[in-house]
Amino acid sequence: MSQSMKQLLAALAAGTLFGFGLGLSQMVDPAKVTNFLDIFGSWDPSLAFVMAGGLMVNALVTPLILKRKRPLLAEFFRLPTKVEIDNRIIIGGILFGIGWGLAGYCPGPMIASLSFADSDIITVVIAFVVGTFAARWVLARRSL
């Protein structure tokens, strides 16, 4: 089996596991997210346990993975090189949070929710794509 086929199968397995986890934890339900964010109303703290579980696994496994000389299915690790917090990170985080709060979706659950194929999720995905291209366009214009 070729290296690229192994990479595709690993991506398929990881994506399937991720999607299953999103469905099981009800992250694909925007009401679950908006209820988590509604701390003065119908607050649902269960999403905090989903996040804590993901962070815990990441915190335990990432250092073990990075001890390897190289990844199993790649030539080298692709780690972020930019570590400083700048205006782009702050403004982007604020806009992401507003969108997450309004729509109840972040990108992973949004993509997983496409399986429902109703008009709400289609609208959210279109808005996500438009917003992504608009941000790229603005950033390209700023760098000129």
Q: At what angle are helices 30-37 and 87-103 packed, to 10 degrees?
A: 120
CA distance to 33, 83, 86, per residue, from 80 (Å): 28, 7, 15
Tokens 């700023």, residue? 142
Which whole number is the average pLDDT over 114-130?
A: 87
Cβ contact 85:22 at 8 Å: no
pLDDT tens figures, 55-105: 999 999 999 999 999 998 888 999 888 889 999 899 989 998 888 888 888
* SS3 at position 118: coil
pLDDT tens figures, 2-19: 888 988 999 999 989 988
What pLDDT, on a 0 to 100 scale, did the predictor assign at position 111? 86
**What b/e string do you get for 9-48 counting C-beta neighbours within 10 Å, with b at 16 or more?**
eeeeeeeeeebeebeebebbbbebbbbbeeeeeeebeebe
Which whole number is the average pLDDT over 20-27?
A: 86
What pLDDT, on a 0 to 100 scale, did the predictor assign at position 115? 82
What pLDDT, on a 0 to 100 scale, did the predictor assign at position 59? 96
134 compared with 28, residue with greater pLDDT: 134
pLDDT tens figures, 31-43: 888 898 888 988 9
What pLDDT, on a 0 to 100 scale, did the predictor assign at position 30? 86
pLDDT tens figures, 131-144: 999 999 998 998 77
Both tokens of 116, joined, read 């429902």
Which helix (H) or strand (E) covers residue 73, if one does? Answer: none
What pLDDT, on a 0 to 100 scale, did the predictor assign at position 137? 94
> pTM for this one?
0.71
What pLDDT, on a 0 to 100 scale, did the predictor assign at position 64? 95
